[in-house]
Structure 1
Amino acid sequence: MHLSSLAAHYGDLVLKMNFKIVSASLVGNMTDMNGPGVTLQPKRPALSWGVKIRRKLTSVAPFLGKFRPLVGQCCHQCTPESLGRKLLRNAPSLGFQNLLCVNETQTRYRGWLVRRVCCVLFICSRKVHISPAGDRRRRICSTDRVKQVLKSHGEMKGCEEDARVILSLTEISQSSSLIRLVGWLLLKFFSLVFCSVQVNLNHMAALHRAAQLNVPLVYVYVHQSAVDQALISLTLLSHNLRVPYSIYPARVHSTWMRVILQNLGTIFLPDHAATEQEAEAHSLYSPIMTSLVGELLTAGESLSVGMCEESGGGGQWLARIRQAVLDGLVPDVSLVPVGISYDCPPSQSTQPQLCVLSVLRFVLRSLWSADERGGVRIHFSQAFSLKEMCESGKCRVDGRRLLQELLLPAALHNRTDTIFGQKDVSWLLPPSFLPELSQSERQMTIALTLHLMHSVTHSMAVMSTGIVSCLLLHKHRRGVRVGVLCREVCWLLEEVLFRRTDVGFGGSLLNVVYHALSVLHPHLLLAAVPPTGEPLVAARPDPLTLLTLSRHSALLTRIFITEAVGACAVSAMLCEVAGCGGGGGEMEFDVALGQEELTDKSLQLTHLLPVGFIPPCQTAHSFALDAVDSMVRCGILIMEELPRETPVCDFWKRQGVLSWSATDDPNCSSDSECEEADPRSYRLSQPSQCPKLLFFLCSLLSVQLRALCWALECLNLMPFPITESECVIQLHSHLRNKAQLERVHHESSSVQLAGLALRTLMDLGVLMKAEQSEDVCVKISPLFLQPENINRLHQFVSQFLY
């Protein structure tokens, strides 16, 4: 189904909606966008104007109820046996559950008093699986790994104190009373912060089946906010599943906070380390933590591991889990990717002090404007076997090449013979992390990290705020009428579901758009357009708004990444062949685009993508071919038909291709020789002008590409050599200055994009590490001290910007 035909499918339906400005506001119950059966009662209108609808959409969109995709299945290529267990089954009758909606029906009692204490009764009735910790510290110290490292450091001055501090981190346990108390507090807290927390009951049923396999469960998620782990633990507690021990990558100085976290089963950093890199650099930390993970898995405990997309943090804990399986402490481990989607995430910081302040500010803002509270959708993907994943041999990262070997010849010398290969991502688990690991195990851990990062992001649900933010930022930047916005929401919604990605809302189109606009209201400009008075919605041009909209729509970029890469490749070819600079003007674009050239452009852009965007089981060249094919499926390109004087079948018949052979002569002609010798070529489906869909898809990747171009421009302004953290600060400052100077594209000035730009520049060999006293610094490589090489690389990257 073409993208262009989907908008027309819902065009007549949405155009029947007649919006008119009146003095009254929308009143009445609104269906909650994050799940069925929950109502929202607005205390005050989220918009400063009222809208009266003469004809409402009273029916639920059919694809939301009947064609909801089954998400969360494990990889059929790497883990076919785990997929064959069918732990995750499509049972539409189970539906969804709002964790915050606790009433007397979920308790064993009924009555007036029960309705007021039903939350307490519900938490007290939950089953908490607690294993006796015993003398866990003594058992860890008695392992050969820890005894050897303690013996080698026994005579060194100051090691006794370091060993005592690090060993104190292993004195963790779980208190059933404290877990219930914190669970009750979390229910009350999340009721203030979110309007609902929805979970898929199909996924919870699959988790119960996985728990019956008698192997430890390890939950893996991607860091998004300060409450990720709390949401996972509360969900598992509410469904009588084992609450996991969690890794919290931050220091905790408060004594009472340390005691509480340790009794909740939290592993945090030692006092001497501010980051995970500093902690892993200590020779005592790694073996002690490896033994602790093995001890927890031996006791049958579950673990929760958070991963960072920018730095790849968290992979070392997967290596420790893998080491426990290799040591025979447990026969196997089941990995469960967890995708958490927010309408409005409360905080992105991982530091305890910043987390508390950010969350408190978010709570106060939620209390002040209750209608702007967003929802949460949690997806627990199907559990798969770690042993099967590692032993299948399908998920591998060995034999990869450095990014500078793949792209620099094409960028500096216009050579395309070197772009074929896979990009090396060994920085995900540097040698300073777990130095005792062998090279093969290190490569296996990196492959596992890539696979889990992609699985987590692929299982996330798209929220209504993400769809509206994507449309306002990438398609209707100057504003859009509400009627057109509803039509575009329907189009984009079906495209998301068509790609087997679930959405985190339900209800009528009216409620979906209203809820999204209510949550995004502080970042929107609203006006009435004469003569009809139809509302016009536009994003505020300030940096905070554009950064927020970009963060909301980031998941849409991952969903449409194949089409976005293909569109940027087409745009680059148009700029190169036709000499157009984009913009969708009334120009002639009736040019032929060769398949080989389009594939090369797509492959070059694929190498520039951050980790986690392309499936880990797919090669970069195969992904580039799919990107070109996606342009045909979208209707942007059409394959050019070459005219022939003689029909193909007659030509083959004269050549003897279609004649039967009586023998099995290996030298005889085969069907593979019947392929066309001429390479394929494509033309735009609308040669009179560039289609708007092409620029929408190009805009999805322009946020990251523009940040990389701006980073290249500021290299000559930075005082090298400097540390990596200082380099990120300098890049971030330049990105903000560049956006303020041009007064546009503030979405490309986030600190996350500055970190991604630094990683890409280091992979390209533009920046290289240099030893400066005790710190590891970065400096410009000798090749790029020449300004012309920087300019060539800048032109190479900027060709993909439309």
Structure 2
Amino acid sequence: MQGSVFETIYVLFLMVYCCFLLLVSTYTILVWKEAYAMVDVLTTRLHDAYTNWTFRPADNDNESRLTLSGLRRIGGLQKRNKIAEKELNKQVKEKYLYQVKENPPPPAAPLKPRPFMGLSCKNCTPSSRNLLVNRARENSNIKNILRVDALKANNFLTRKFCHIVQAYRLKKYDFPQVSDTVLHDERLREALQMATTKDLQDMDKADDETYQKQLKKNENRAKTILYDMRSTLSDFLLRLTSWVMYKVLPCFLSSVVAHPGQVEMLKKAAESGVPLIFLPLHRSHLDYILISFILLNNDIRSPLVAAGDNLRIPLFGFLLRGLGAFYIKRRIDPVLGRKDIVYRAVLHTYMMEALRAGHNIEFFIEGGRTRTGKPCMPKGGILSVIVDAYMDGTIEDALLVPVSINYERLVDGNFVREQLGQPKQMESLGSALKAIWSVLNSNYGMMRIDFNQPFSIKELIKTFHIPSRSPTPEEKEIVSNGTVPPLFKKPKLVSQPSTASLYGTDVVEEKHRKLVDSIARHVIYDCTQATAIMSTNAVAFLLLNRFRDGCTMDQLVVALDKLRAEVDWAGRDLGFSGDSLDVVNHALDVLGPALVRRDKTQNTILPVCMLPNVIELAYYSNGMMSFYVVDAIIATALFTLLPDVTCSSQLSEDDIIERSKELCDLLKYEFIINKPCQTIESVIADGIDNLKNKEILTQKEILYTEDEKWSQRVAKTFDDDDSSSGDDAAPPKINEPNLQFNSNTTTLQHLCFLRGLIRPLIEAYYITGTVLHKLVDRNVTEKELVLDIMEEIKKELHLGSLSYSESLSVDPVRNCLKLLQHWQVLESHTQDKIRMYYLSEHYDDNESLKPILIKLCRFKTPLNNNK
């Protein structure tokens, strides 16, 4: 019986194979037949054109015509000319070869070294900064991961099937399953007992039988959660996927590049024996697949990847699970508002046991993909588990690896629908297949990944937990340079913990939350600074902010040259090279005609600034925002301080810093301006120095009298006296104008350009403030409030009171609502999974809202105030 079944299967397989060969043969015959028919048509048309062609000379002599014999004579002349040209080229070539033999070749121009991005912070992790980096590899050129070096192979089969050989030779790792260990963990047992006790309190029962029944129910639920969550990382599936990726990725990506020095750094870190915690910025669903692909093909253990449970769809969910994904819920609290103790305990214990078993971990510290092209504020939930694992001794140490990722064109498509207020479309098998088919038939350019220098979480926590003491003379020098240890001087702009963390205050104490938040913000800042600027980022940025009304190709090339020089001077890396004209043409092709219009007849380029296209173009432009954001904030502050920007005026540097700090506080949920180990004042002061270098601001020399100089010397003597009490208030400073604003056409153009960078955000915040009056004496759902604000922005855009269409975006509106909650203007609560907003008691009338509106619209200066 069994033999007959195998025979039947074998016959069916042969039939399917024969049908496949028949289809392929038929298709090939039809294609060649059509090709031959096309060749016949072309041949006939060329022969007709050759026989009927006549030449009319320039003097319009109608009697002078070239006949067929004349054409033959011209053909013979052209043939003789080609022979003569060939002889001349041969003589030149022989002469050149003689010169090469007699004279030494000229020295090759040295390659410009690339900046080595992603070094760890020298203030927070000085020991880690001196480890793992091979200084000889810092200036190495980037490498395309998709290229397999098969030319060195000795045999034909190895060269022909290089990708299969590459997948076969990969280093094999054991990936232990920890599910059974999790179910028997003592901490999980205690959490289940705690959850059972609370359930009995809600049911108002206390008998032992009910307790055991509820405990069994929670145990079964914990087991179900664990098996839905767990990863089934498979070495075979990793190898198979590696081979598939080598075949599929070149279909839509021109290259996937990384720095060899950074990969070598990761290899050394993997040999240290401590877990690697990869913390990438999240832009695409392709991120975690590519990271695992690169690590696998460089013999680095593939990590377990925290993925949202929305990706647990048929087929793809199984494949991702086998590639290392473990699924977590986006929102893990139930409808009644109680904390889901069972789910939290299972997730916490699973990650703890995975770390103890030697697994590497990868999770996206932003929580989800960025919808705007700017990094999102960090979510500290999973990071708090890593910190807790170190604090309680589960692991001796862990190396945090920030990862910066950027694409020339976003593979997942755009987020325009979501930014216009429409709900997110949930992933499904059909949508996934449709998206894959669309991707395979498109060009997405290049993808760049930068692995930052791994740093020890043990060292970082020790740095953040230095006991309070007076700074030493060496540390005072560090303070004077603007970088201070966080315990010596607390930044005035205190960062707020994430409100959407997986863990609440009932899991970790406030001190622990602040520590985790500081680490998370540091990682986001490091990733942002190390992210390479792609060609589409640079071109979209210039078109949207410098040439919004269009420009010629020459103007765009000149502007790109200047931009490249500024980025190079600042030590940032570019994800492209070559002539700027070629870079612009490539970027325009990748962006496509939906975002950029090209008029080849008039040689002009025009960005599409109408909705909804401009929102997608702004996504690529925002990749440059981290480079200019400080200058943009200072420029906007200058417009509010200067009564007339067309006239040269005197300003106080302290006034500029204070006004810039107000704007930083306004945009605290949009950008991470400074690292936790930096003061915001020092960052703004550096930005002012940058404007001084550009001669927009000039340092005014202040002449002091002899008595004033003597007073300053006496005051300095008292300041340096260590015996003086540190609690005494410092004498007030005299706020004198010490800067000269130099007004000219170039200055105004540059300041208007900088102000325009954050103008869409300011407009969105202003309109959000004007809608607050609708909340007086009423509660509104989050969806209804956001839609009201979006409708108001549309109305103002139609009336012309707003200048930037990209102001119509959901993300800035939501961030403004967070800010208003931080200012205690708004309050919210969740009811039946719906968030409700309402004004706090002190602001629940129109009169009390006026100061808030004034504060929000302070930086919305008229665009024509420079005229």
> What band does the TM-score fall into relative to the shorter chain?
0.7 to 0.9
Evaluate the alpha carbon distance shift between residue 184 and residue 456 of structure 1 in structure 2; reply closer, same or farther with a 3 A threshold. same
SS of equivalent residue, structure 2 residue 402:
strand
Rounded to whole Å, the distance in 2 between the matches of 1:666 and 1:336 is 41
Match 1:200 to one of 259, 274, 278: 259
Residue 105 of structure 1 pairs with residue 151 of structure 2: yes
Residue 589 of structure 1 pairs with residue 633 of structure 2: no
SS of equivalent residue, structure 2 residue 268:
helix
Letter in 1 for 2:738: S
Residue 392 of structure 1 pairs with residue 452 of structure 2: no
Displacement of 1:600: 1.2
SS of equivalent residue, structure 2 residue 137:
coil
Residue pair 2:775, 2:838 contacting (<8 A) in 1 also: no
Rounded to whole Å, the distance in 2 between the matches of 1:495 and 1:359 is 41
Match 2:393 to one of 328, 335, 343: 328
Task: Determine the structure 2 residue equivalent to 1:82.
Answer: 128
Match 2:410 to one of 315, 330, 345: 345
Rounded to whole Å, the distance in 2 between the matches of 1:378 and 1:656 is 52
Letter in 1 for 2:676: P
Task: Determine the structure 2 residue equivalent to 1:421.
Answer: 492
Residue 684 of structure 1 pairs with residue 736 of structure 2: no
Match 1:130 to one of 163, 167, 174: 174
Rounded to whole Å, the distance in 1 between the matches of 2:780 and 2:710 is 71
SS of equivalent residue, structure 1 residue 760:
helix
Task: Determine the structure 1 residue equivalent to 2:603.
Answer: 535
Task: Determine the structure 1 residue equivalent to 2:677.
Answer: 617
Rounded to whole Å, the distance in 2 between the matches of 1:204 and 1:554 is 28
Rounded to whole Å, the distance in 1 between the matches of 2:315 and 2:387 is 33
Letter in 2 for 1:152: M
Residue pair 2:332, 2:340 contacting (<8 A) in 1 also: no
Match 1:526 to one of 595, 598, 605: 598
Give TM-score, length-normalised by structure 1: 0.77
Give TM-score, length-normalised by structure 2: 0.72
Residue 264 of structure 1 pairs with residue 323 of structure 2: yes
Match 1:608 to one of 666, 691, 696: 666
SS of equivalent residue, structure 1 residue 691:
helix
Task: Determine the structure 1 residue equivalent to 2:19.
Answer: none
Residue pair 1:471, 1:488 contacting (<8 A) in 2 also: yes
Q: 1:32-64: per-residue Cα shift (whole Å, max 9, x none)? A: xxxxxxxxxxxxxxxxxxxxxxxxxxxxxx999
Rounded to whole Å, the distance in 2 between the matches of 1:264 and 1:389 is 31
Displacement of 1:312: 4.5
Residue pair 1:570, 1:598 contacting (<8 A) in 2 also: yes
Larger radius of gyration: 2
Evaluate the alpha carbon distance shift between residue 690 and residue 64 of structure 1 in structure 2; reply closer, same or farther with a 3 A threshold. farther
Displacement of 1:694: 0.8
Task: Determine the structure 1 residue equivalent to 2:754.
Answer: 697
Displacement of 1:548: 1.7
Task: Determine the structure 2 residue equivalent to 1:491.
Answer: 562
Rounded to whole Å, the distance in 2 between the matches of 1:360 and 1:492 is 40
Displacement of 1:268: 0.7
Rounded to whole Å, the distance in 1 between the matches of 2:753 and 2:526 is 26
Residue pair 2:596, 2:606 contacting (<8 A) in 1 also: yes
Match 2:285 to one of 226, 233, 246: 226
Residue pair 2:379, 2:498 contacting (<8 A) in 1 also: no
Q: 1:476-532: per-residue Cα shift (whole Å, max 9, x none)? A: 11011111111110111121222221111112222211111111232112225xxxx
Tell me, which stretches of 5 or more residues in structure 2 are unaligned?
A: 1-107, 197-210, 419-423, 469-489, 725-729, 862-867
Match 2:618 to one of 523, 547, 550: 550
Rounded to whole Å, the distance in 2 between the matches of 1:727 and 1:355 is 29
Residue pair 2:378, 2:524 contacting (<8 A) in 1 also: no
Rounded to whole Å, the distance in 2 between the matches of 1:224 and 1:430 is 19
Q: 1:93-114: per-residue Cα shift (whole Å, max 9, x none)? A: 63211122335237x4542x55
Rounded to whole Å, the distance in 2 between the matches of 1:345 and 1:729 is 27
Residue pair 2:232, 2:321 contacting (<8 A) in 1 also: yes
Shifted more, 385-394 versus 86-95: the winner is 86-95
Task: Determine the structure 2 residue equivalent to 1:73.
Answer: 119
Rounded to whole Å, the distance in 2 between the matches of 1:526 and 1:545 is 15
SS of equivalent residue, structure 1 residue 526:
strand
Residue 378 of structure 1 pairs with residue 449 of structure 2: yes
Task: Determine the structure 2 residue equivalent to 1:13.
Answer: none
Shifted more, 336-345 versus 703-712: the winner is 703-712
Match 1:573 to one of 626, 637, 641: 641
SS of equivalent residue, structure 2 residue 135:
coil
SS of equivalent residue, structure 1 residue 220:
strand
Task: Determine the structure 1 residue equivalent to 2:537.
Answer: 466
SS of equivalent residue, structure 2 residue 464:
coil
Letter in 2 for 1:692: Q
Displacement of 1:183: 2.1
Match 2:364 to one of 306, 311, 319: 306
SS of equivalent residue, structure 1 residue 132:
coil
Letter in 2 for 1:180: R
Rounded to whole Å, the distance in 1 between the matches of 2:431 and 2:445 is 16
Letter in 2 for 1:118: C
Evaluate the alpha carbon distance shift between residue 359 and residue 685 of structure 1 in structure 2; reply closer, same or farther with a 3 A threshold. farther
Q: 1:97-153: per-residue Cα shift (whole Å, max 9, x none)? A: 1122335237x4542x555532222222222422332xx222112222101012334
Rounded to whole Å, the distance in 2 between the matches of 1:312 and 1:594 is 32
SS of equivalent residue, structure 1 residue 376:
strand
Residue 762 of structure 1 pairs with residue 821 of structure 2: yes
Evaluate the alpha carbon distance shift between residue 260 and residue 535 of structure 1 in structure 2; reply closer, same or farther with a 3 A threshold. same
Larger RCO of the pair (alpha carbons < 8 Å, separation 6+) = 1
Letter in 1 for 2:824: G
Residue pair 2:782, 2:836 contacting (<8 A) in 1 also: yes
Rounded to whole Å, the distance in 2 between the matches of 1:676 and 1:603 is 18
Letter in 2 for 1:459: A
Residue pair 1:395, 1:617 contacting (<8 A) in 2 also: no
Tell me, which stretches of 5 or more residues in structure 1 are unaligned?
A: 1-61, 398-418, 581-587
Residue pair 1:312, 1:428 contacting (<8 A) in 2 also: no
Evaluate the alpha carbon distance shift between residue 333 and residue 64 of structure 1 in structure 2; reply closer, same or farther with a 3 A threshold. farther
Rounded to whole Å, the distance in 2 between the matches of 1:628 and 1:274 is 41
- How many residues were matched structurally? 685
Task: Determine the structure 1 residue equivalent to 2:183.
Answer: 141
Q: 1:544-566: per-residue Cα shift (whole Å, max 9, x none)? A: 33112211121311112221111
Match 2:690 to one of 608, 621, 630: 630
Match 1:151 to one of 181, 186, 193: 193
Rounded to whole Å, the distance in 1 between the matches of 2:187 and 2:722 is 59
Residue pair 1:193, 1:363 contacting (<8 A) in 2 also: no
- Name the one with the larger helix percent: 2
Rounded to whole Å, the distance in 1 between the matches of 2:191 and 2:453 is 38
Residue pair 2:379, 2:501 contacting (<8 A) in 1 also: no
Residue pair 1:149, 1:284 contacting (<8 A) in 2 also: yes
- After the TM superposition, which residues 707-722 of structure 1 pair with which residues of structure 2 at under 5 Å, given as runs? 707-717=764-774, 720-722=778-780
Displacement of 1:716: 3.5
Residue pair 1:395, 1:448 contacting (<8 A) in 2 also: no
Q: 1:338-396: per-residue Cα shift (whole Å, max 9, x none)? A: 000111112277989548777766655555554xx321110000000001111112799
Letter in 1 for 2:612: L
Residue pair 2:697, 2:741 contacting (<8 A) in 1 also: yes
Residue pair 1:454, 1:612 contacting (<8 A) in 2 also: yes
Rounded to whole Å, the distance in 2 between the matches of 1:524 and 1:486 is 15
